[in-house]
């Protein structure tokens, strides 16, 4: 099969937004997802905080993508709601970091980057977040941080693509290799046949490294397992996101509370474990003691695309003309997706990029 401008491999939030951006620019795009439904992997499993957990601990390259995406997310949600009737629920709650060891570094980062992060009196935190557990001594607060309801974001993006005449979406279509003309990549192979295109974009999350190995490309992206639990509480139970000791609680608008997450190097094993459930439950009760009496309505695991320093690979691979990457976002795929995909589309179409592309360029990092 031929006749498309681009094939996008991977139907997570990165692949979906890449496809949407290309299609809105007039490109004919084929999106291939190996699972039965798009967004079934890390994009569904994550928490959806529209910020890195500790933004000051990341490289400036991550911050640049995060800042652009944070500013763009409300507009994206409005556009998707208008186009599809499905609200991704970008929910601005703010985020409290409790008892940090590196508060000074965080405040210095905020000043350098002109981000609204402030030290606050712990008594005011307890007044603002009544269910917070006892014993915390200090807090930093970023009032504008939102969370996005990632399963709804996926549904909305899927519906938006289905409404476009220049997009083909194929699920249960696993890519097994690449079609080449010499070193040029001119398409992809699958059990269902071959698809040809001017450009092939790898946005396959934790599976990107395995796929690229068939081209003798060693991409340092590996699966990193994360487990989450979900509680159901009253709609107004938790007014803000909170984070302490590496664990976080995220309130949804309907009273669901997400608590996560673990970091496990277990290959491609996504089996939820009782050990992780017990650990997450204990962290939840330490953060919010009332959760001891709340029902756990969900427990799952997903695979993050782990990469060095969490900096994604975005751009062309010059050794294989026609091949492009948008992968390796590690813990921040949902946070960085809008900016990452806009940058990829800008580069692919020869437009002025939204931010400097050099830190993400595959050629200098592979």
Q: Convert the chain into a string of H (helix), E (strand) and C (coil).
A: CCCEEEEEECCCHHHHHHHHHHHHCCCCEEEECCCCCCCCCHHHHCCCECCCCCHHHCCHHHHHHHHHHHHHHHHHHHHHHHHHCCCCCEEECCEEEECCCCHHHHHHHHHHHCCCCEEECHHHHHHHCCCCCCCCCCEEEECCCEEECHHHHHHHHHHHHHCCCCEEEECCCCEEEEEEECCEEEEEEECCEEEEEEEEEECCHHHHHHHHHHHCCCCCCEEEEEEEEEEECCCCCCCCEEEECCEEEEECCCCEEEEECCCECCCCCCCCCHHHHHHHHHHHHHHCHHHHHCCEEEEEEEEEEECHHHCCEEEECCCCCCEEEEECCHHHHHHHHHHHHHHHHHHHCCCCCCCCCHHHCHHHCC
Q: What are the pLDDT digits (tens) for 114-140? A: 999 999 999 999 999 999 999 999 999
| Residue of 192 and 363 predicted with greater confidence | 363
The whole-number average pLDDT for the span 154-158 is 98
Q: Work out the percent of the chain whose per-residue pLDDT is above 90.
A: 98
The pLDDT score that the predictor gives to residue 107 is 97
The whole-number average pLDDT for the span 5-16 is 98
For residue 2, name the pLDDT band (cuts at 50, 70, 90).
low
Q: Are 225 and 61 in contact (CB under 8 A)?
A: no
The whole-number average pLDDT for the span 198-213 is 97
* Sequence-distant (≥ 6) Cβ neighbours of residue 168 within 8 angstroms: 4, 29, 30, 31
The CATH architecture annotation of domain 4-49+152-220+309-364 reads: 3-Layer(bba) Sandwich (3.50)
The pLDDT score that the predictor gives to residue 192 is 79
The pLDDT score that the predictor gives to residue 1 is 44
The whole-number average pLDDT for the span 331-349 is 97
Q: What is the mean pLDDT of the chain?
A: 96
Decide if pLDDT at 3 tops 90: no
Pairing of the two strands 146-148 and 90-92: antiparallel
Domain ranges of the chain: 4-49+152-220+309-364, 95-143+222-306
Q: What are the pLDDT digits (tens) for 59-70? A: 999 999 999 999
Decide if pLDDT at 334 tops 90: yes
| Of 316, 331, 340, the residue nearest 64 (C-alpha) | 340
The pLDDT score that the predictor gives to residue 191 is 80
Q: Do domains 4-49+152-220+309-364 and 95-143+222-306 have the same CATH topology?
A: no
The whole-number average pLDDT for the span 83-99 is 97
CA-CA-CA-CA torsion sign (278, 280, 282, 284): negative
CATH class of the structural domain 95-143+222-306? alpha beta
**Tokens representing 40?**
């079934």
The whole-number average pLDDT for the span 237-264 is 96
For residue 108, name the pLDDT band (cuts at 50, 70, 90).
very high
The whole-number average pLDDT for the span 270-290 is 97
């Amino acid at each position: 099969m031929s006749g498309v401008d681009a094939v996008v491999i991977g139907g997570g939030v990165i692949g979906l937004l890449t496809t949407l951006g290309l299609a809105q620019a007039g490109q004919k795009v084929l999106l291939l997802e190996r699972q039965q439904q798009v967004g079934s992997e890390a994009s569904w499993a994550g928490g959806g905080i529209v910020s890195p957990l500790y933004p000051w601990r990341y490289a400036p390259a991550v911050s640049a993508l995060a800042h652009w995406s944070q500013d763009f997310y409300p507009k994206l949600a409005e556009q998707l709601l208008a186009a599809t009737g499905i609200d991704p629920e970008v929910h601005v709650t703010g985020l409290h970091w409790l008892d940090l060891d590196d508060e000074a570094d965080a405040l210095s980062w905020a000043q350098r980057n002109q981000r609204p992060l402030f030290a606050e009196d712990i008594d005011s935190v307890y007044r603002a977040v009544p269910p917070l557990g006892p014993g915390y001594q200090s807090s930093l607060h970023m009032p504008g941080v939102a969370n996005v309801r990632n399963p709804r974001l996926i549904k909305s993006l899927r519906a938006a693509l289905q409404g476009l005449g220049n997009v083909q979406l194929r699920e249960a279509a696993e890519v097994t290799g690449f079609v080449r003309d010499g070193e040029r990549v001119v398409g992809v192979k699958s059990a269902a046949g071959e698809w040809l295109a001017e450009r092939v974009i790898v946005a396959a999350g934790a599976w990107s490294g395995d796929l690229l190995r068939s081209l003798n490309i060693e991409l340092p992206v590996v699966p990193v397992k994360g487990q989450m639990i979900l509680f159901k509480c009253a709609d107004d139970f938790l007014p803000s996101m909170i984070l302490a000791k590496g664990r976080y609680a995220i309130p949804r608008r309907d009273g669901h509370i997400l608590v996560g997450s673990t970091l496990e190097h277990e290959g491609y094993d996504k089996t939820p474990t009782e050990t992780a459930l017990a650990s997450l439950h204990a962290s939840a009760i330490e953060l919010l003691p009332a959760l001891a009496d709340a029902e756990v309505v969900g427990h799952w695991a997903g695979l993050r695309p782990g990469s060095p320093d969490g900096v994604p690979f975005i751009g062309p691979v010059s050794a294989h003309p026609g091949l492009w990457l948008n992968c390796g976002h590690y813990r921040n795929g949902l946070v960085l997706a809008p900016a990452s995909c806009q940058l990829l589309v800008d580069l692919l179409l020869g437009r002025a990029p939204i931010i400097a592309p050099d830190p993400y360029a595959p050629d200098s990092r592979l």
